[in-house]
Structure 1
């Protein structure tokens, strides 16, 4: 691609490695702690990007661009790019809308029926779950406006001293593309400039490497794919969990293809380990009957596309919500990673393998994903070009982005009404005091006259 210029940032993956311990502990943290760890990755990576000499040179140049495309994950300072180049921006969010993206787009998310990304429940919430959901949403809003944005603004000013306040540039985004999809996620309000393109990365399956193909072809009783993604590594599992998993695998007839990043001694004969494998293509193999996963969104959508049921081992962040959504749709069995032992893993694995409802529901969800008028990647391309053609497509933007946070959440209105009610009650109290005080005085005067 002769017109393409790449700027490679060294050390971004090192940030993931440094946070690896926190990632396994994240699921047991408070909600505030989870927000802090997730935002730390975005802060450190944004800091590294803006500190790069190539980026500093680019920002001070007079180059022209028609559009800036940004992935959004706690990297608000990078909105300096569309501001500097005086062009519209499109963001790609790695998941559904959250409290951390809703404020950028002025998108409503009533906590009465829209579960937060940190929820451990589905859309049908009880009273106490709605209370909890409201609390987490308010906590997230507080984190965004009083912790995240001030911190990000300080970092932006450090690298770009002439930059405006961060709140003056982050709300000019033209379009947000979500990597979620209606076949798996929940129906929630979305503004006209927010589009779901989940599954855009799923292409027709390629031919598998010979060793993997032979292994799966020979799995007459079916095969299981086991992968914890790229950030979480199976090799980092505690020893007791590795032993419990291997013991359970030794009891089944199915073959297991396990993405494992180190040597694994004493593994059963039906288990094949690989440090890397083409996950999407493996899931598309007809002999694959289950997917053991951390339930990251992209991998989950790959399983939905292939019609493969899931045994979910959620650890942190959106994984907990993803597995609850999958369980609610009847395509998965949930096993909390921190509760994994030989008994619980064996029970969950047996359920997903032997109960036919999971595969039937997974096939139904696959049908829904593919029953679309346009491919997800084509839709993404259309809307990106639409933004360019229509000079930012600002007619699609919600007017909510022009409001201060206290106006958007009606804090000023509630405060005014509350103040008026307090004043009315005080006036009423004073009037009652005067009225009853006057009657007491009249009675006292009457008694005095009788005594005289």
Structure 2
């Protein structure tokens, strides 16, 4: 008889749970690492999930159904070659240097979109089969899945693993005034000089035009071949109830955000299971009397493509340090100082949280930056592409990082920057920032789950401002200014015309 309460609770849980479809077809490992803990937590809380991704869970929850896309495209792991960025540019042109690489990634996503729409494993979603209460969909540099969101006609929650993208403000009605809102690809914060504001405006409009021509128009045509006439993908994106963003204002800078944009920075660390370090590696770092440094460019960039001149300069500096260095390097045959050790893959967070870790050399990717601030470890940021430039600039302003652009990496510059990072004062500031970052009124996971469940409960939320329906001319009130100018011109012209026509009568009345 005592089993009945347990059975009743189980039945209630199943009845209250929502059916959730997660469309996550981007083959980037670091992106999925942000979303995976949320998916697991939703399943743990009784919701039934259908997860479409390139990274199916090896031990899926009973509430979770995996739809594997493995084999439809290569995974985006160590695909960025740093020699593509080792060039000399002058002026604001340097901020567009990674457009060819990003365009290539966008073209791969477009090709993937076509493959998915024709794939047998994807047919049920193209046909909008299944009864779902909510769709989780990544908002990145592809809007392919928005066609399916429109097809299902159910509320959606957007997921962003990186900093706020250029197109996000227009979707939620948030200000993106280039006078004080820096573009994510620029090494700037919201404090800008006149020249920086000028560059920021050019880059903002340049990237918007590029995104429209290189991605959105093409995806619109691909989707309409499959589904027929659709609203503009940009307009479908504006219907998202909530967008969960992997940022936090203490580290990524303050933005004016409507309630629909929810910061959940650090969500991928929720209930993180710390894996034991290999015995030999653990012994090597614990024997480092002056501590050790972690050096990694993340999962997307192939670290061993670092220009040879930069690698030589870095190794000369390492040889003079008392600290030991663990370096993620995928190639063989590099002559190393005694205090440097290479590994093809690093247990990064486990290393950063070790008591002997004193510094982190990183590309300033969103996950690496989050793990550094969580561990309270200062870093030397060498940004390569995308949001890494903005991430690094904000981390420097917060006191967590020193920044060294790749093209400026020389032996002298690298040593000077690393010495600052290793300074005791910077380590103290990193610990303080870590405490501020962790001190939140609500755990990021609870915050994310709350908004997902609220969206499903009320069948959609309207928490974005109606500014999202205005174009740039209307937002800047240029139409109002033009109207007032036209009124003044017409009124002035009318006065002149009347004066000319009635000049004699007017003069007679004046001098009478």
Common fold, TM-score beyond 0.5? yes
Deviation at 1:410, TM superposition (A): 3.6
The reply on whether 1:8 has 2:84 as its aligned counterpart is no
Q: 2: CA distance between counterparts of 1:141 and 1:416?
A: 27
Q: Which one of 140, 155, 162 corresponds to residue 73 of structure 1?
A: 140
1:275-424 alignment runs, 5 A limit: 275-353=344-422, 355-394=423-462, 396-404=463-471, 406-424=473-491
Identify which range, 415-424 or 262-271, moves more after superposition.
415-424
Q: 2: CA distance between counterparts of 1:18 and 1:212?
A: 27
In structure 2, relative to structure 1, the CA distance for the partners of 1:413 and 1:38 (3 Å cut) is farther
The reply on whether 1:223 has 2:292 as its aligned counterpart is yes
- Counterpart for residue 448 of structure 1: none
User: Contact 2:379 / 2:402 at 8 angstroms: preserved in 1?
Assistant: yes
1:187-198 alignment runs, 5 A limit: 187-198=254-265
Q: Which one of 91, 95, 100 corresponds to residue 162 of structure 2?
A: 95
Q: 2: CA distance between counterparts of 1:142 and 1:423?
A: 35
User: Contact 2:264 / 2:447 at 8 angstroms: preserved in 1?
Assistant: yes
Deviation at 1:226, TM superposition (A): 0.2
User: Contact 1:185 / 1:325 at 8 angstroms: preserved in 2?
Assistant: yes
In structure 2, relative to structure 1, the CA distance for the partners of 1:141 and 1:293 (3 Å cut) is same
Deviation at 1:41, TM superposition (A): 2.2
User: Contact 2:318 / 2:337 at 8 angstroms: preserved in 1?
Assistant: yes
TM, length-normalised to structure 1:
0.87
Deviation at 1:14, TM superposition (A): 5.8
User: Contact 1:171 / 1:401 at 8 angstroms: preserved in 2?
Assistant: yes
Q: For structure 1, which runs of at least 5 residues remain unmatched after alignment? A: 443-452
Q: 1: CA distance between counterparts of 2:158 and 2:277?
A: 33
The reply on whether 1:49 has 2:113 as its aligned counterpart is yes
Deviation at 1:271, TM superposition (A): 0.7
Number of equivalences: 436
Question: What is the Cα-based RMSD across aligned positions, in Å?
Answer: 2.8
Identify which range, 5-14 or 229-238, moves more after superposition.
5-14
Q: Which one of 264, 277, 292 corresponds to residue 208 of structure 1?
A: 277
User: Contact 1:15 / 1:44 at 8 angstroms: preserved in 2?
Assistant: no
DSSP-derived class of the 2:238 partner = helix
DSSP-derived class of the 2:146 partner = helix
Q: 2: CA distance between counterparts of 1:232 and 1:27?
A: 20
DSSP-derived class of the 2:415 partner = helix
DSSP-derived class of the 1:343 partner = helix
Q: 2: CA distance between counterparts of 1:171 and 1:8?
A: 27
In structure 2, relative to structure 1, the CA distance for the partners of 1:23 and 1:306 (3 Å cut) is farther
Q: 1: CA distance between counterparts of 2:470 and 2:299?
A: 39
Deviation at 1:69, TM superposition (A): 1.0
- Counterpart for residue 199 of structure 1: 266
Deviation at 1:380, TM superposition (A): 1.0
Summarize deviations over 1:106-129 as a string: whole Å, max 9, x none: 212333322221222222222332
Identify which range, 74-83 or 45-54, moves more after superposition.
45-54
